[in-house]
Amino acid sequence: MTTNELYKRYKDYYKKFKGYRILFSILEYDNSTIAPIKSLDEKSEYTNFIFEDYMKLKKSNDYINLINELDSKKDRLNPQFKRIAYLAKKELDQEEKVPLSKQVELNKLTAKAFLTWNEAKAKNDYNIFAPSLEKIINLVKEITLLRGETDGNIYNTLLDDYEEGITTTELDSFFNALKSKIIPLLKRIKESKVVINDSFAHAKVSKAKQLKLSKYILKLNGYDYSRGALGEAEHPFTSEISPNDIRVTTHIYENLFFSNIFSTAHEGGHAIYNQNLGKNLICNLKESASMAMDESQSRFYENIIARSPEYIDLISKKVNSLLPKEYKNKVTNKEMYLAANKVEASLIRTEADELTYTLHIIIRYELEKGLFCGTLEVKDLKKEWNRLYKEYLGVDVTNDSEGILQDIHWSCGSFGYFPSYALGNAYGAQILHTMKQEINVGQAIKDNKIKQVIGSYLKKNLYQYGKLYSPKELIIKLTGEPLNPQYFIDYLTNKYEEIYFNK
Amino acid sequence: MTTNELYKRYKDYYKKFKGYRILFSILEYDNSTIAPIKSLDEKSEYTNFIFEDYMKLKKSNDYINLINELDSKKDRLNPQFKRIAYLAKKELDQEEKVPLSKQVELNKLTAKAFLTWNEAKAKNDYNIFAPSLEKIINLVKEITLLRGETDGNIYNTLLDDYEEGITTTELDSFFNALKSKIIPLLKRIKESKVVINDSFAHAKVSKAKQLKLSKYILKLNGYDYSRGALGEAEHPFTSEISPNDIRVTTHIYENLFFSNIFSTAHEGGHAIYNQNLGKNLICNLKESASMAMDESQSRFYENIIARSPEYIDLISKKVNSLLPKEYKNKVTNKEMYLAANKVEASLIRTEADELTYTLHIIIRYELEKGLFCGTLEVKDLKKEWNRLYKEYLGVDVTNDSEGILQDIHWSCGSFGYFPSYALGNAYGAQILHTMKQEINVGQAIKDNKIKQVIGSYLKKNLYQYGKLYSPKELIIKLTGEPLNPQYFIDYLTNKYEEIYFNK
């Protein structure tokens, strides 16, 4: 077959895969935002075979032969197809080793486990969820062993699913560098005499007002409303349904409007990345470079932009106008900035401040590594979770819902994802460092030109490349060096020294 | 094969068909309520093949053989399977005659025509839509001819899709009976000296307040929120996604809160029917009996219940509380009742009062009949539309958006549906007549026991049977006689004589 024929055949397959994924994404979005809980079981029961059809197509001999042929001709392919062939062959080599029945088993298991996790969380009882979790972990281990270890370690195989090429060796060194700075800094902050009064941040702001605020934030940040939507979900997420339908969700707590602001900015960051992928990218290269790179953008918009003093100046008037009488138009920009950046060691990852957030991730990383490297068992997981929270954050976990049951990931069979959040923070700080050599970031925010200046820079230097490069290549292309935690450490140190020690 | 084996095989097929339909319903719901317009094309492009897979399965030899075998053993089947086999065989016999390619062509045509119709409506120009409509009609004619005429008439075949067994002969007589009473009554009302002041009904009530009102109405009427959802759409509809997910949508006009109240009650009626189908019904018998029977319930809740004086007494306080200062708590129950039942010959079907509504339907019926029986051409359609509006309703159609472009149906290739609305009204009045011999309808509304008394009656006498009987059998079972327009005529006459002539 000529390369052009191969291209055409691959594109036809991709189109079908994408068709299935569009339907699954809409189903998932619907399940998470609108569908009544009572209907989830029956729907999964009825529609499961369509997911199986999708998997069968991905495992069909015809498709496998196509990928093998593309791979055998890789030196003659154009750059986009060379990358596509590499990624497809890699996926195939692993998937070939896993019987479809195992994948189906995992899907059924996680569909049920999600409900069990919900129940356990509602009833605040880890014991309800533990048996499901154990089953999931055993099955994921079994499947990952079939797929193959990397450097004699199945956790590396899982990490690679989310961040191409990353290993526990690199992550251990990365997280150790962060731990050695963040834990002492957190201790010092706890002893600092600076008291940040954020009582206004707990004032009641109605759902309707907060949804208007979400829209305002998304608009400021450059999200294109005509190619997306805003929804409400229990756990906020971004849904990349199709090129012109990239959706953001938020969760409204009426007594915690900051949560909505930063969560919206976070999901908006994911969405802005995915709305601005290069127009000429084809097939699965029209995606973000990796989970961590995607997280770098969500956390860039959430923290580096939305928690900056310039951004607070920009939104302060609007926020003030929504507050109840007691606080209305009385909160100064400085007070708002400090409240938005208040450090507080707490139990919930998604509500954590920018400093302690990474510690939440490190705990999950260490637990997952233990589970998959055989040094930790599910029966000891809760104890170890609570122990690490005490050791790293200095907090006592007094109930399961706010402890080990807080995250959805494990109930879905997602292991190896958490480090992406921390890598995202570090990529973000490193990108900011380079960006500042070319543009004035603070001024752009001040001038309400986030999209025109910062968005354009990121589009030109990051978004346009989609998945054409591996994240390791991309960060070098973008910043001239590999991932380096020092930029994030410096960023955090500068920020919090100024806030808590007036430096 | 034993009948039990046949049952099992049919159920397996049904499960797959239902799985596809669940995904398509969610896609359609999403497209109509949330998805950005810009994404509709790409999604249909990517997912179309899954619809084709569904059609292929329905046309597979294995399924066809199964249905033929069920049909050949029909005398040995249990009552539910006997009905299932009858319906499936009938569908098969027609579909067998239509090549899959024709159905796919129609789907593609209507997907595009929907966009063209939207554009034409926005630009108020029928000429933009006319060529698409002509193509659709020609293709539907071609397909229907292949499926086969009924009594030498393809429009009968289309009518039967929505109301099993109904023909133009019956409908002509049915509509003539209605026309002969409604048109003179409307003329008299126009000359009546009763002036109904409904200025408060045009007061501005915010979207947020109106959405609360929708929820209140649904709750009063007995809609089960835990097995559904409320959404907003350009054109309100009810979506029967899965047994535990029956959704209602509404459209909010901030200066027309009555529209929302009655539209919500209408869609809620559809939903209540579908939420209360018999638990023991299997496969596709777990659906409403027919489109007209479904409409009988939507219009029962919208008109017979929600426009009754007792219901207005029930909601008046709540409605008053939402009005702007000028009207707040100042509108009497009597004023509200009169405004809710004001007769006004107007252009828009969905906003029509209970009396003139049927005239809107008769116009569409006569036009469709003309188009499919060869006495009317698309090029003359607009002229004829406008002429009939003048003749029956006495109104001048001055623009296309409010005239021939107002309804979505034709752009979707739906012909033969409109009569269901009028049949629904007539069924409703006939059911009410019988119901009143057993329960006190007005008292039940007054006591806020709509669900307990009226809902229970309808569940026991109608909803529980699902699709087990044909609508012709069902109306006899329910009321002791076939469809009889006299009940509806009497209902309208009594109501409007009282309102406009104090009788």
pLDDT digits (tens, 9 = 90+) for A122-162: 999 999 999 999 999 999 999 999 999 888 899 999 999 99
Position B474 pLDDT exceeds 80 = yes
Residue B351's pLDDT is 84
pTM: 0.92
Q: Which of B295, B317, B297, B293 is nearest to B305 (CA)?
A: B297
Nearest CB partner across the interface for A227, out of B16, B38, B229: B38
Of A44, A156, A143, the closest CA to residue A99 belongs to A143
**pLDDT greater than 80 at residue A503:** no
pLDDT confidence of residue A235? 87
Interchain proximity B245–A19, CB inside 8 Å: no
User: Chain B contact for A241, CB < 8 A?
Assistant: yes
Lateral strand order in the sheet of A238-242: A230-232, A245-250, A238-242
- A241 contacts in B (CB within 8 Å)? 35, 39, 43
User: What are the φ/ψ torsions at residue B203 (nearest 5 degrees)?
Assistant: -70, 150
- The mean of the pLDDT values for chain A is 96
Cβ neighbours for B446, distance < 8 A, ≥ 6 positions apart: B310, B313, B314
pLDDT above 70 as % of chain A: 100
Alpha-carbon distance A25 to nearest alpha carbon in chain B (angstroms): 10
Catalytic residue, chosen from A163, A164, A240, A267, is A267
Residues paired with B245 in a beta bridge: B242
Using CA atoms of A106, A112, A118, A123 in order, give the dihedral in degrees to the nearest 10: -120
Task: State yes or no: pLDDT of A112 exceeds 80.
Answer: yes
| Nearest in space to B414 (alpha carbons), one of B368, B470, B381 | B368
pLDDT tens, position by position, A342-355:
999 999 998 899 99
Residue A293 to chain B, least CA–CA distance (Å): 25
DSSP A488: H
pLDDT at A33: 96
Which of A247-256, B93-102, B336-345, B348-357 has the weakest average pLDDT?
A: B93-102
Distance CA B8, CA B4 (A): 6
- Per DSSP, the three-state class of B379 is helix
Tallying the residues shown for chain B, one arrives at 503
Burial of B209 (0-12, 13-18, 19+ CB in 10 A): middle
Res A459: pLDDT: 98
DSSP 8-state secondary structure symbol assigned to residue A115: H
Single out the residue of B231, B251, B270, B494 nearest to residue B351, CA to CA: B251
Alpha-carbon gap, residue B317 to B330, rounded angstroms: 10
Contact (Cβ atoms closer than 8 angstroms) between residue B393 and residue B452: no
The reply to whether B142 belongs to the active site is no
Cβ contact A178:A362 at 8 Å: yes
pLDDT above 90 for A264: yes
8 Å CB contact between A288 and A273: yes
And the tokens for A121?
Answer: 């969380």
B261 pLDDT band, cuts 50/70/90, is: very high
C-alpha dihedral (A270, A276, A278, A280), degrees to nearest 10: 120
Per-residue confidence (pLDDT) for residue B235, from 0 to 100 = 87
pLDDT at site B425: 97
Residue B279 has pLDDT above 90, yes or no: yes
Closest residue by Cα to residue B467 from B164, B208, B215, B169: B164
Q: Which of A19, A43, A208 shows the shortest C-beta gap to B46? A: A19
Given a cut of 90, is residue A314 above it in pLDDT?
Answer: yes
Across the interface, do B42 and A227 touch by the CB < 8 Å criterion? Answer: no
Pairing state of beta strands A238-242 and A245-250?
antiparallel
For B303-339, b where at least 16 C-beta lie within 10 A, e where not — what string?
A: bbbbbbbbbbebbbeebbebbeeebeeebebebbbbb
Poorest-pLDDT segment among B109-118, B243-252, B265-274, B304-313? B109-118
B250: which strand partners? B232
Radius of gyration of chain A (CA): 23
Identify from A13, A47, A247, A284 which residue to disrupt to test chain B contact, counting B C-beta atoms within 10 A and taking the largest count.
A47
Tens of pLDDT, residue by residue over B412-431, are 999 999 999 999 999 999 99
Task: Give the mutation candidate from A20, A34, A51, A241 for the B interface (greatest B CB count, under 10 A).
Answer: A34
How far, in Å, CA of B227 to CA of B225, rounded? 5
Determine what percent of chain B is predicted with pLDDT higher than 90: 93
- Neighbour-count burial for B20-43, b at 16+ CB within 10 Å, e otherwise: bbbbbbbbebbbbbbbbeebbebb
> What residue of B is the nearest CA neighbor of A227?
B36
pLDDT at B503 over 80: no
Q: What is the pLDDT of residue A150?
A: 84
Say how far apart CA B249 and CA B238 lie, in whole Å: 6
Q: A387-391, B376-380, B454-458: which range is least confident on average?
A: B376-380
**Whether residue B401 has pLDDT greater than 90:** yes
Does A207 reach chain B within 8 Å, measured CB to CB?
no
* Of residues B15, B42, B226, nearest to A244 (C-beta): B42
Region for B394 from its dihedrals, namely left if φ exceeds 0, alpha if ψ lies in -120 to 50, beta otherwise: left
What pLDDT is recorded for position A383?
97
pLDDT in tens, B310-366: 999 999 999 999 999 999 999 999 999 999 999 999 999 988 999 999 999 999 999
More confident residue, A52 or B491: B491
Query: Measured between alpha carbons, how far is residue B499 from residues A123, B309, B342, B360 in Å?
Result: 57, 11, 9, 22
> Distance (Å) from the C-alpha of residue A145 to the closest C-alpha of chain B?
33
Q: Where are the beta strands (DSSP E) in B10-168?
A: none
Among all residues of chain B, which has the CA nearest to that of A39? B244
B174 residue type, one letter: F
CB burial of residue A420 (10 Å; 0-12, 13-18, 19+): buried
Using the Cβ of A209 and the Cβ atoms of chain B, whether some distance falls under 8 Å is answered with no
pLDDT digits (tens, 9 = 90+) for A397-455: 999 999 999 999 999 999 999 999 999 999 999 999 999 999 999 999 999 999 999 99
Q: Is A419 on the interface with B (CB under 8 A)?
A: no
Check residue B142 and give its pLDDT.
Answer: 96
What is the pLDDT, as a whole number, of residue A271? 98
Tell me if B363 sits within 8 A of B392, measured CB to CB: yes
Task: List phi, psi (to 5°) of B305.
Answer: -85, -65
Q: Is the dihedral of CA A289, A406, A209, A323 positive or negative?
A: negative
* Distance of alpha carbon A371 from alpha carbon B457, whole angstroms: 58
pLDDT of residue B350: 85
* Number of residues that make up chain A: 503
Here the tokens at position A323 are 């507050």
Round to the nearest angstrom and report the end-to-end CA distance of chain B.
66
Amino acid identity at B110? T
What's the mean pLDDT in A106-113? 91
Per-residue pLDDT, averaged over B381-407, amounts to 96
Nearest to A172, CA basis, from A153, A148, A149, A146: A153
User: DSSP secondary structure string, B173-210?
Assistant: HHHHHHHHHHHHHHHHHHH-------GGGGS---HHHH
Percent of chain A with pLDDT over 90: 93
CA–CA separation, A403 vs A394, rounded Å? Answer: 14
pLDDT, greater one: B115 or A333: A333
User: Which of A26, A27, A277 to mutate: most B Cβ within 10 Å?
Assistant: A26
Q: Is the pLDDT of residue A95 over 90?
A: no
